[in-house]
C-alpha cells in the first residue's frame, strides 16, 4: 500500500526534527502564545498513531492516555526517537497487509461523530501527522 511510504517518510522527518534541536532541553520549551512543546506534540503523535493504527488496525494492547501527551515532560530524546522507530515498524507491518476490501470498510472508530472508510481515516491521520510536524519544525526554528 503506497500510503505506508508517506507515513515512513514523515515519521523519519519527525526523528530528523527532534534530532535538529541543538539543546535537548529545548524539545520541551514553548514560546509565548504557543501551548505545546515539540516534545509534547511528539507524544501526541505517538499516542494518536499508536491508538488509531496500532490498537484499531493492528489490534495491539495500546492504551491511550491523551491528557498525558500534553502534560508529561522531559522524556529523553533517545526515548522519543526509539518510540517513533517502534511506531514506524508497526506502520510498516500493519498497513501493507490491508486489502482493498479492508480499506473500503468503515474504520472501527468515529471521528467527531463521523464515520470514515479506513482508507480515508489513514489520509486523515497522515494529514494530522503533517500538521503537527510543521508545528514542530516552526517551533524548533523559533527556539
Give the tens place of pLDDT for each residue, 105-141: 999 999 999 999 999 999 999 999 999 999 999 999 9
Residue with cell 493492528: 58
Q: How many domains does the chain have?
A: 1
Q: Which residues of 81-90 are buried (b: 16+ CB within 10 A; e: fewer)?
A: bebbeebbeb
Question: What cell was used for 41?
Answer: 506534540
| Neighbour tally for 37: CB within 10 Å | 21
- Give the residue among 89, 85, 81 at the shortest CA–CA distance from 21: 81
Position 1 pLDDT exceeds 60: no
Q: Per residue in 26-84, pLDDT tens? A: 999 999 999 999 999 999 999 999 999 999 999 999 999 999 999 999 999 999 999 99
Domain limits for position 90: 3-142
- Which residue has better confidence, 143 or 25? 25
Position 2 pLDDT exceeds 90: no
- CATH no. for residue 52? 1.20.120.450
Amino acid at each position: 500500500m503506497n500510503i505506508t511510504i508517506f507515513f515512513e517518510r514523515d515519521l523519519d522527518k519527525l526523528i530528523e526534527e527532534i534530532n535538529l534541536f541543538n539543546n535537548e532541553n529545548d524539545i520541551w520549551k514553548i514560546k509565548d502564545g504557543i501551548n505545546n512543546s515539540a516534545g509534547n506534540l511528539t507524544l501526541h503523535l505517538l499516542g494518536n498513531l499508536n491508538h488509531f493504527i496500532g490498537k484499531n488496525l493492528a489490534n495491539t494492547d495500546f492504551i491511550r492516555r491523551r491528557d498525558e501527551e500534553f502534560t508529561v515532560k522531559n522524556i529523553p530524546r533517545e526515548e522519543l526517537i526509539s518510540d517513533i522507530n517502534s511506531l514506524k515498524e508497526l506502520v510498516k507491518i500493519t498497513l501493507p497487509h490491508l486489502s482493498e476490501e479492508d480499506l473500503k470498510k468503515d474504520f472501527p472508530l468515529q471521528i467527531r461523530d463521523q464515520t470514515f472508510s479506513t482508507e480515508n481515516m489513514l489520509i486523515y491521520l497522515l494529514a494530522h501527522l503533517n500538521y503537527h510536524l510543521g508545528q514542530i519544525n516552526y517551533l524548533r526554528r523559533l527556539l
